[in-house]
Structures are given as structure tokens and as C-alpha cells.
């Protein structure tokens, strides 16, 4: 069996995957959707530890014969940074990393280093409106959600994001770069997620939809994630 560990992005929660997981379950895979804590004193590295804990829990399910599930670690948006560092810490537990509109880079990469200045200034300005250095959630339209019904569903679920998650940078040993990766990016593009993926050696895969594509096109995204892992699995089975 395959286990997909699905990690939500900034301002979101595990509910971000609620429309996607039924399609993965129909394919016979298991899903785990860890929650990233969004308190004001939390940063990127605390989120990494929360994902590492989730990976260790999956490893605890090792069978009596010593085998375990294939593990696909999926990160949306900001969580691209989180899942890569978590995988770097537990490379023996992760078989494939999939980024969905994921921010990513090498050792020392962070949101403020990857994003354009306009994004950085907007986040800094938003954080100054909060007494506890939290970044208030943007409107659903900022995630590409314009349908009135979807926007009404999303808006009350969004939460403030700790500023430290944007200012801290990753610490990578290089182990994660030995794990195969896929970078799913959406069209029309908002940021250069295809180039982020290609720069770290991941295969870029396009999908028409908004940034929060798991809400608007869950079936299509599930298909791409499953196909990406199947492609990787089949490549591993090919003779040298």
C-alpha cells in the first residue's frame, strides 16, 4: 500500500485536502493530513518537526516482515519548504516528494528569499497590523478562489500565519535531493513554481487551475499525484 502524507500551506489547515482525499482513497491508498500549528511563536522549523513526527508515525506501522508502505510526501505552497526539510531529516522514510504549487529551493531557502519583493513587502505590512506578529489571512481571491460558493466555504476557515514561517530558512544536508520529486504547478501561473521545481531537479507537471487547486479541481489533482507516483514506481522497477 501507499501512504500519502499531505501537508497544507500557509493560512490553511488539514481541511484543505478534504475534497481531494476521497479520490485518493478510491485508488486504494491511505492518507495522513497533519496539522501545522499556527500560534504566533511558531516558525518553519517547528512545522518541520510536526511533519517529521507524522513520518515517524507512519514508520511505526512497519509490518512484521520489515516492509512498510511507500510514502509520498506532498506539500502545498509554503509547505514545499517544510516537506523538503522533513524529508531531508528522514530520507529513509520517504519514497517520493510531490510539491503542489510549492515554494522550494536548496539549503537556506525561505519564503522571503524566493518570493518577489512585492510579496515580501505585503507580508511585512500585514504583520505590522497584528500585535503578535501573525500575518492575517488574505481574501480567498488571493488563492485564486473566485467562485462565490467556494469563497464562502474557504474564508472562515483561513487562519493567521506566524511571521516566522516566512522569515526562517531551511536547513538541508542534501539527503532530500536523493529522493525523487515532482513539482505540480498551476496555469495561469502566479509565481514561478515550475522553475522552483526544475531548479531542484524535480519534474515539473502542469495543471490548469488556481493556486488552491485542491479545492477547485480535486479529482484532476489526485489523478496527477497518483500518476506521478506510479511513474516513479515504474521507473524504479525498470532494469538498469
Q: What is the pLDDT of residues 31-63, one digit of tens each?
A: 999 999 999 889 999 999 999 999 999 887 766
β pairing state of 203-208 and 30-32 = unpaired
Q: What is the mean pLDDT of the segment spanning 205-216? A: 98
Q: How many CB atoms lie within 10 A of CB 19?
A: 18
Q: Phi/psi of residue 134, each to 5°?
A: -95, 150
Dist CA 124 CA 157 (whole Å): 22
DSSP code for 234: H
- For residue 60, what pLDDT is reported? 72
Say yes or no to pLDDT of 8 above 60.
yes
Residues 173-191: tens digit of each pLDDT: 999 999 999 999 999 999 9
DSSP code for 226: H
Say yes or no to pLDDT of 192 above 50.
yes
CATH number at residue 154: 3.40.50.1820
Q: pTM of the full predicted structure?
A: 0.95
DSSP code for 136: P
Give, to the nearest 10 degrees, the angle between helix 79-89 and helix 44-59.
50
Q: Which of 180, 164, 205 is nearest to 82 (CA)?
A: 164
- For residue 62, what pLDDT is reported? 62
Residues 15-32: tens digit of each pLDDT: 999 999 999 999 999 999
Average model confidence (pLDDT) across the chain: 94
Q: How confident is the model at residue 193 (pLDDT cuts 50, 70, 90)?
A: very high
How many structural domains is the chain composed of?
Answer: 1
Q: Which of 10, 88, 13 is nearest to 48 (CA)?
A: 88
Q: How confident is the model at residue 240 (pLDDT cuts 50, 70, 90)?
A: very low
Residues 131-171: tens digit of each pLDDT: 888 999 999 999 999 999 999 999 999 999 999 999 999 99
Buried b (16+ CB within 10 A) or exposed e, 111-130: beebbeeeebeebeebbeee
- For residue 133, what pLDDT is reported? 83
Say yes or no to pLDDT of 239 above 80.
no
β pairing state of 161-162 and 203-208 = unpaired
Work out the angle at residue 175's Cα, subtended by the Cα atoms of residues 88 and 37, and round it to the nearest 5 degrees: 5
Q: How confident is the model at residue 80 (pLDDT cuts 50, 70, 90)?
A: very high
- For residue 66, what pLDDT is reported? 65
Q: Which of 82, 57, 79 is nearest to 71 (CA)?
A: 57
- Burial (CB count within 10 angstroms: exposed 0-12, middle 13-18, buried 19+), residue 43: middle
Dist CA 176 CA 84 (whole Å): 6
Q: How many CB atoms lie within 10 A of CB 39?
A: 10
Cβ atoms of 70 and 229 within 8 Å: the answer is yes
Residue 100 domain boundaries? 2-237
Retrieve residue 25's grid coordinates: 482513497
Amino acid at each position: 500500500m501507499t501512504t500519502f502524507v499531505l501537508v497544507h500551506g500557509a493560512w490553511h489547515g488539514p481541511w484543505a485536502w478534504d475534497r481531494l482525499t476521497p479520490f485518493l482513497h478510491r485508488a486504494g491508498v491511505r492518507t495522513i493530513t497533519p496539522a501545522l500549528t499556527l500560534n504566533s511563536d511558531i516558525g518553519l522549523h517547528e512545522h518541520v518537526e510536526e511533519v517529521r513526527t507524522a513520518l515517524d508515525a507512519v514508520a511505526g506501522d512497519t509490518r512484521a516482515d520489515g516492509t512498510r508502505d511507500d510514502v509520498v510526501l506532498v506539500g502545498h505552497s509554503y509547505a514545499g519548504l517544510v516537506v523538503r526539510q522533513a524529508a531531508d531529516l528522514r530520507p529513509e522514510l520517504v519514497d517520493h516528494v510531490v510539491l503542489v504549487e510549492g515554494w522550494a529551493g536548496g539549503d537556506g531557502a525561505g519564503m522571503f528569499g524566493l518570493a518577489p519583493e512585492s510579496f515580501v513587502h505585503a507580508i511585512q505590512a500585514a504583520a505590522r497590523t497584528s500585535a503578535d506578529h501573525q500575518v492575517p489571512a488574505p481574501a480567498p481571491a488571493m488563492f485564486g478562489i473566485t467562485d462565490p460558493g467556494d469563497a464562502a466555504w474557504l474564508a472562515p476557515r483561513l487562519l493567521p500565519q506566524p511571521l516566522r514561517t516566512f522569515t526562517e530558512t531551511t536547513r538541508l544536508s542534501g539527503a532530500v535531493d536523493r529522493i525523487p520529486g515532482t513539482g505540480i504547478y498551476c496555469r495561469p501561473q502566479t509565481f514561478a513554481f515550475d522553475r522552483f521545481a526544475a531548479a531542484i531537479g524535480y519534474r515539473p507537471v502542469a495543471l490548469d487551475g488556481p493556486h488552491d487547486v485542491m479545492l477547485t479541481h480535486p479529482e484532476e489533482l489526485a489523478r496527477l499525484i497518483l500518476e506521478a507516483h506510479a511513474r516513479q514506481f515504474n521507473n524504479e522497477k525498470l532494469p538498469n
